[in-house]
Structure 1
Amino acid sequence: METTELWKNTISYLETDLSRGVLNTFFANTKLSSLDNGKAQVVCPSKITADYLRRRYLPQVSQALKSLTEKDWEVEFQVSQENAPIKEAELGPLFTPPALDGLVSRYTFENFVVGLPNQLAAQIASSLVEGAGNSVSPLFIHSGVGLGKTHLIHAIGNAIKERDPQMKVLYVGAEQFTNEFIKSVQNSRSAAVFRKRFRAVDILLVDDVQFFAKREGTQEEFFNTFNELYLAGKRVVLTSDQHPEEIKKLDSRLVSRFCGGVVADMQEPDVDMRLEILKRKAAEWEQAVAEETLLTLAQDISGSIRHLEGALNQLLAIATTKHIAPTRDLAQAILKNRPQPQHFLKPQDVIAETSAKYGITVEEIKSAKRQKELVRPRQVAAYLLRALAQLSLSQIGEMLGGRDHTTILHSIQKIEKEQQENQILKEQLRTLRGEILGKTS
């Protein structure tokens, strides 16, 4: 059997064990070059590909060849001569500090609103910039979607560049890192360029690392990149919508590295923060808006800051177009007509999981009873129904036994405030979030 046909059959054989993504990414452009003296030489388009196949899939390839030829083979992965590894000196200066750092200049510490829900993350980020946080690496910031972690990671990069323009700072989204990595495996020059781009930096900022989940090859490469930067005393800042230990299908080595620095979470902004965010956003429009109008929006819209700013933009756009004042009545009309978010979880699950966590029944949490052992679970359920299901205050009140708007708002604000000072409550909320969201994955 010719080597070309045998290798084609080998890859077909591997389809039963390996995913199509792995085969398309790492086995594309490989070929079986020779079978001689018990050795099977597989030629790869780049050193990244050869190294990865050797570490991760050598046993599977050896077994496939044995099954097809009924012989044992010592498999060797080599780089083709036309794609031989390139020395770093031959690449020239790949890193262009100001132009290609990926930073968005409008995201700064000056326009980042700080309050109890994000105070710790903001303080650690600031100390890292000031130099007091040199030992903080990695800094891992996690929060729900739209709560400002991307703003904060860009603010870190922009502040460092402002203090020292010579610092090599690079921001990249995890998806972009993955896409560039996949392209790099096709030839050695691309691989060398890729590695130098991400390793020849003083600080690497990586956004949305939960995107690495289930992507074994990308995780392997990022692990090596992270280690090289860490051992060189460089700094790494990461963001995610989950705590490292909650990201499913993330390599345990990466989880360990991510948790080895400082892990800081950012909670949903409380009413005071939301009001301040709206005031600053209104100032950008150079439009006078009464505080009671802004407060109406701040009290009704929780969760994503983008949703909050979007409602204000809609209010001011209507007011400007129609030449009317942005009044509280107009704000209430906008809130009434706002489309409700699609829910990927059942609100009933939030109540059921919360009840089970505190050892009470769903009937008890909805009841009119006010025993201490029922009040706290009820407050937590209200908070989570707002945070996860994004229900209105009146909807939450209905689900919790017909309670009024004011009672629900008080419950949510109480939990928002207490979790900043009560680590036990904070951990309970984190665990509950994971259990509830796990039902929707």
Structure 2
Amino acid sequence: LEDVHFFQRKKAMQELALAVIKGLQDRGGRVILTSSFAPRELRDMDPQLVSHFCSGILTSIGRPDREMRGRILTHKARSFQVMLPDAVRDLLASRLHGDVRQLESCLNSLIFKARLLNCGLNVDLAMEVVGQYAGIEQGLDMESIIRLVCESYGLSETQLRSRSRRQECVQGRNTVFYLARKHTELSLEDIGSAFNRRHSTVLRSITAVERELARETRLGRQIARAVSLIERSAGCGVPPQA
């Protein structure tokens, strides 16, 4: 069950989720839950439900290291029923530093090009393909996120940090919080401190952005365009366009 943080402040959904989890566990089933936040960061959540969240193994899933990237590429190649030479796998694993989607996209491009040229996967071809993905992995820190969000929304940093409730200011701040959570190792407290906001405010803002993005509302599409533009500007593992 993904994105369980959406259960916050939704009592009926929490009761239903608790009943389902208990039912599955009573039958010996295993439950895997994901969230953008640790259980201790959730607010307005049934204590029993949070207790269930904490009763199993808790782990933070970040970007894979080089060894893990190699294993992912090997697994993906098998699923695509192609032979991935060790040298090609090692090259991709060392040059690509994004998430699993970037690895899969690059491998797909490599396989497609090899089939188009009627040749096997080799280092020379891999070097050509990986060059379109690697080398632009600049990443985002809080300073660059604030700068790029200001540019995207036409705001000054003073406006962004202000207490203004103008839609563009609120939307800009929420986008900063969302991107900081996604692309940095900063805690919710650290993100909030940068804007003199509380931990709970940051949490609500990020959840609101994720909700709009998931529902693909008009506001969600606006935020998605801004996020995409910012991530492309920073080269955050965004695949090249055809």
Greater strand percent: which structure? 1
User: More relative contact order in 1 or in 2 (CA 8 Å, sep 6+)?
Assistant: 2
Normalised TM-score (structure 1): 0.30
Question: Is the radius of gyration larger for structure 1 or structure 2?
Answer: 1
